Structure formats: C-alpha cells, structure tokens
Structure 1
Amino acid sequence: MLDAGCGTGATTLALHAALEARHLLPAHFSAFDLTPLMLSRFREKLVRRPVPHLEMVAADVLALDQLPATWHEYDLIVSAAMLEYLPKARLVEALAGLRRRLKPDGTFVLFISQQSIWMNWLIRRWWHANLYTRAELEAVLEQAGFTTRHFAKFPAPYSYLNWWGHVVIARC
C-alpha cells in the first residue's frame, strides 16, 4: 500500500487500523510527502500508533523517480487531499506516474476536493487549491490510463464529507 501525499499520516493510520481489525494487513506500507514538517508530525504519531513495515520518504508526486527503486507493483495506492494542490495542467502527469506504480490489477483511491460554491470559498480562496468536477476527473483519469473509474460516497458516519470532495476508485 502506498499513501501518496501522506501529510501527517491520517490516511495511513486509518487504513492500517481498518485492515488490522479485519486481519488483512499488507506486507508493507509506503508513504511519501513533499513537506518534511508533515513527515515529522507523522513520525510523532507513529510513536503512539506504530505501523509495522512502514517506509516514509520526502518526495514530490511530480518527480516519482525520487522514490526508492523498490516502490512499485502496489496493490493499493491512496491519495487524499493532495493532488488539488498541483497545477491543473500537471494532474494527468501525476496520475499517470502513480498508475505506473500499481500492479496490473491494483486499485487507486483518490479523495479530492470538488467544485461547489462552498468549496470555492473554502478550498480555492483560503487554501489556494484547485477544485474538480466529476467530468474533469473522468477526463484526466482516462488520459492517465485508468480504464475503470467508480465514483463513491463517504459512508455514515462520515457522510458529511460528501459536500467536500470526490471519492474515486480507479483501476487500469
């Protein structure tokens, strides 16, 4: 499992806990983020909530050659609230790079901010990030080589997050 843009580790920690509860832990977790401060905060959390077999590095999703050579053939890659910070013109490049790190039958899960009046104010103006419509995401995922795309919803008790963003499950 690879967490692309792991930040402070929320996604990795939640996924690890969910998989552990189901006795489905993968052999290895990988995570990268561009910001060393975020990785430092993630490491602090790991003291209280360790994730065995986790490897973390500082890297840019637009320069995946910085990742360790062994970081490929993932069953699952997750990216949460990171890709909206890239220039829109480079989103296909980032998605294609992540797709190339998946196993042929691997799954990519994307959580990304959606276009809406509320998110325009909160995400675009305050956080200076991009927002995406479903049609835009369909197009860039197809250009990046994902042949199967499914848009899902956050389940209860997290359904309030549906006003924030898209949940996309993609395969190639």
Structure 2
Amino acid sequence: MITVDFSLLPVGPGDRVLDLGCGGGRHAFEVYRRGADIVAFDRNENDLAEVDAMFAAMRTSGEVPAEGGASAEAVKGDALDMPFDDDSFDRVIASEVFEHIPHDTAAMAELYRVLRPGGTAAVTVPSWLPERLCWALSEEYHTNEGGHIRIYTRAELEAKLKAAGFFIGPHHHAHALHAPYWWIKCAVGTSDDDHPLASAYHRMLVWDMMKAPRTTRTAERLLNPLIGKSVVVYLRKPPRGRAEKNG
C-alpha cells in the first residue's frame, strides 16, 4: 500500500533515497523497483531483517532494473541521530513516522540535515479527522507502547517543517477506504482481528488492493479529501546560496 505519489516525488537511477522509519519496507521496495539506490532506515531489527531479505529476493527475481546497478541496504538507527553525513540523500521519504516521536522537531531537523540542498522529501502522517475519531473510540489505540502520541493538523505539520528550513510544496490525502477499517477496529478492540465486521472489511480491503476495480478507485479518490487516512506533504530543501521566500 503506497502512500507517496511518485509523480510528485520522482525517483530513478542515480538517485540516492532514504526511507526514514521504513517499517515493513513498502516504499523502499517501490523505490528499488524504480532503479534508485535505497537506504531503508529503522530502529526495529526484526523489520529490517525482513526488508533486507526482500531486497535479496527482488534482486534474485529480476524485479530491479538491470541497468544502473541500483543498491539497497537496511540500516538500524535513531531518527534523532542518523549515521549519515550532511547532504547524503537526493530524496527522503518519512511515512507515518513523526506521530510516534516525542521530539518530532528534532527528527525533522535531522531529515533536513541529511537531505542535499535542492533535494525533495515526502512526509506522511495520519490525517486529523480520521485520527481524532480513532482516539475517541479507543484509548488502547493511542496509549500502547510505540503508538501514536500526537494528532497533527496539516497546518501544524507544515509549520514545523517550515521552521526546520523546508520549502513547503503540494499535499494530498490518501487511503480513504482504510479509515473506516480503523474506526471499526477501535470500536470492537484494536487486537480483535477476528471480529466479523473487522474481518469482513479487511477482506474487502485486500480484494481492493489486489484487483483495484474502477468503482472503489473512483470512490477513494473522491473521499480522500474528506476522510483520507493519511495526509502527504511534499518538501524541498533550499538550494545552497538561494534566498527564496518560504511560503
């Protein structure tokens, strides 16, 4: 399930890309398929082991373009102190990361540091309204260890990123059909995957992801601005020596 629109964050051979807080690697795999060099970065060793194994499987099965010699590696570390030099990456993806980090502005400053001048990034967080409903329906949803510790408005997210030094670009919402699933989960119990309603809705989501029928794709596109589960903001680090107005 890809949240970032790669027409707004183009990647390809010759680009070095960081997937910050890669989790299961969904964006890292797509970047690798497009022939860019990818670093999947996370603090969870188990996730990174699975991501690294998938990188190897992609190479074996020919899913990576033969030309360009794209590289892929999984790196463990802390988003507040990344083991990369300044200006190391052409692109950075930070998908559903900052809502987990107490010192989110420090992590944003690190993102800014490792992105090269003129480079672009995509940051995604849960949208305010769907997330607010989840918090209202379930205390467990937002109090479990490693869970979400804040709800962003887009204005707040953009203001923090702007304060870190970024130029703010376009935005959009994504995954509207996933919002009701999480409302159901929060209502019946976030760990109750076998509840009939949650199970039925999950089967529908899997079917939709596999088949991508026109009806549901159109419905999600229309619903995304209203109840999209995630909001995506695209950013640019100012070119070195440029004195542009950020606004």
Give 3-state SS (helix, strand or coil) of 1:49's partner: helix
Which one of the candidate residues 88, 96, 103 is aligned to 1:81?
A: 96
1:96 pairs with 2:115: no
1:128 pairs with 2:147: yes
Quickly say closer, same or farther: Cα 1:119–1:167, change in 2 above 3 A. Answer: farther
Where does residue 41 of structure 2 map in the other structure?
Answer: 32
Unaligned runs of 5+ in 2: 1-16, 65-69, 176-215, 238-247
Which one of the candidate residues 142, 154, 160 is aligned to 2:162?
A: 142
- How many residues get paired? 160
Give 3-state SS (helix, strand or coil) of 1:60's partner: coil
What is the alpha-carbon distance in structure 2 between the residues aligned to residue 45 and residue 36 of structure 1? 14
8 Å CA contact 1:7–1:38 kept in 2: the answer is yes
- Give deviations 1:105-124, integer Å, cap 9, x for gaps: 10010111122233434753
8 Å CA contact 1:119–1:164 kept in 2: the answer is no
What's the CA shift for 1:163? 2.1
1 or 2, which has the higher strand percentage? 1
What is the alpha-carbon distance in structure 2 between the residues aligned to residue 139 and residue 2 of structure 1? 23
Give 3-state SS (helix, strand or coil) of 1:153's partner: strand
Unaligned runs of 5+ in 1: 20-24
What's the CA shift for 1:74? 1.4
What is the alpha-carbon distance in structure 1 between the residues aligned to residue 71 and residue 90 of structure 2? 15
8 Å CA contact 1:113–1:119 kept in 2: the answer is no
Structure 1 stretch 154-163 or stretch 34-43: which is displaced more? Answer: 154-163
- Give deviations 1:92-111, integer Å, cap 9, x for gaps: 11111111111211001011
8 Å CA contact 1:138–1:149 kept in 2: the answer is no
TM-score (norm 2): 0.57
What is the alpha-carbon distance in structure 2 between the residues aligned to residue 114 and residue 124 of structure 1? 14
What's the CA shift for 1:11? 1.0
What is the alpha-carbon distance in structure 2 between the residues aligned to residue 111 and residue 74 of structure 1? 18
Identity of aligned residues (%): 26
Structure 1 stretch 142-151 or stretch 29-38: which is displaced more? Answer: 142-151
What's the CA shift for 1:68? 4.3
Where does residue 4 of structure 1 map in the other structure?
Answer: 20
- Give deviations 1:12-64, integer Å, cap 9, x for gaps: 112333x2xxxxx23x2212101111101212322322364112210010112
What is the alpha-carbon distance in structure 1 between the residues aligned to residue 151 and residue 52 of structure 2? 30
- Give deviations 1:117-163, integer Å, cap 9, x for gaps: 33434753567302211111121111111122321234984747762
What is the alpha-carbon distance in structure 1 between the residues aligned to residue 25 and residue 234 of structure 2? 20
8 Å CA contact 1:31–1:57 kept in 2: the answer is yes
8 Å CA contact 1:147–1:171 kept in 2: the answer is yes
TM-score (norm 1): 0.79
What is the alpha-carbon distance in structure 2 between the residues aligned to residue 165 and residue 68 of structure 1? 28
Which one of the candidate residues 99, 105, 123 is aligned to 1:110?
A: 123
Where does residue 169 of structure 1 map in the other structure?
Answer: 234
What is the alpha-carbon distance in structure 1 between the residues aligned to residue 172 and residue 44 of structure 2? 29
Q: Could you say which structure has the larger radius of gyration?
A: 2
